[in-house]
Amino acid sequence: MTQTYNIKIQHEQFGTLLNEQFGNSGQFKLFLKMVQGCIEMKEDLTFFNGSDFFIHVPVSYLVNSIIVTKVDNYTMADHLVKKSKIEAQEIK
């Protein structure tokens, strides 16, 4: 069984600002601490992973957003069911 960790930042005016999944619980926890720190210290949320992910959310929009996290369990059975559905759509 694998777990995926998701954070979603939703703003009333701009819609979804961030909807990101993490496969590593440590990275997820660090990212959440960074978001919490930005809110508490009244700093912009700015992050770049060095290759393909960059986000910049001004603190004024961050504090007026709804932030939701969740952990999903993903089993091999889930994978096979999803794969079967995709393959069935391709055959049609």
Split into its structural domains, the chain has a count of 1
pLDDT per residue over 41-60, tens digit each? 999 999 998 999 999 999 99
Low-confidence residues of the chain: pLDDT under 70: 78-79, 83, 87, 89-92
- Residue 21 CB-half CA count within 13 A: 8
Residue 52's pLDDT is: 92
DSSP string, 6-34: EEEEEETTTEEEEEEEES-HHHHHHHHHH
Which domain does 63 fall in, by range?
Answer: 2-91
Residue 66's pLDDT is: 97
Q: CB of 85 within 8 A of CB of 77?
A: no
DSSP string, 42-62: T--EEEE-SSS-EEEE-HHHH
